Amino acid sequence: MGFKQFEGADEEFNLEQMEAETEQMLRLRMITKDNATFARTKGGFVSLDLSESIAAEHYDRIRVVRSFPFTDRNKYISIRTIDEKSKEIGMIRDLTTDVDPETRKMLEEQMDIRYFTPIIKKINNIKDEYGHAYFDVETDQGPCKFVIYMNSSSVVNLSDVRLLISDLDGNRFEIPDYTKLSARELKMLDLFL
């Protein structure tokens, strides 16, 4: 007795299902204010109800992900499920126009939690010591000290003037325009440019 007897009975059904799943993965589904309702939850997250025009689905909690976190913060926002698979529920093409202001605020709050990249406002001191640099800075989120490796991958140029600094723990800090720093700060940062 072999498996072949099962094969005939279920092949079509399974094939259809798999194709449907593949299709779903390939489809770009746009979410706008016309087909989706977002709402704050008590726990500090956001829930989502899709209208029947795309799929009558409800999600207790969703994940809000940027497609271009560095270059286009408000475009192509991906709304995903919270489970391990993190499937895409849909995308918002432009956060500034495609949803109402209240929703926009809600989603931005979620993204502010998801992404944590303090912006360096002022460099108090950089001390380099045997392969590590110790930073003492003021960020938009308050004063902060961190340590980086002294190699080229710790400080990355996002553009000609924009720097992204990664510390030993994996935190990241941004300098939006290093040319705007004072001469004293620039001198300290010189090593990494």
Residues that bind another protein (CB under 8 A): 1-4, 6-7, 10-11, 14-15, 18, 41-45, 60-61, 69, 112-118, 129-132, 134, 139, 141-145, 147, 151-152, 167-172, 190-192
Return the exposure string of 80-92: e unless at least 16 CB atoms fall within 10 Å of the residue's CB, then b: beeeeeeebbbbb
Q: Least distance (Å) from another protein to the CB of residue 162?
A: 16
Q: Least distance (Å) from another protein to the CB of residue 145?
A: 7
Beta carbon nearer to another protein, 6 or 179? 6
Spatial CA neighbour of 81 closest among 105, 57, 115, 52 = 57
Give me the amino acid identity at 182: S
Beta carbon nearer to another protein, 52 or 84? 84
Q: Least distance (Å) from another protein to the CB of residue 96?
A: 21
Beta carbon nearer to another protein, 97 or 125? 125
Beta carbon nearer to another protein, 97 or 182? 182
Q: Which two tokens stand for residue 6?
A: 């099962």
Secondary structure (3-state) at 144: strand
Write the Ramachandran bin of 143: left for phi over 0, alpha for psi from -120 to 50, otherwise beta.
Answer: beta
Residue with tokens 């999600």: 59
Q: Least distance (Å) from another protein to the CB of residue 106?
A: 15
- Give, as one character, the DSSP assignment of residue 34: T
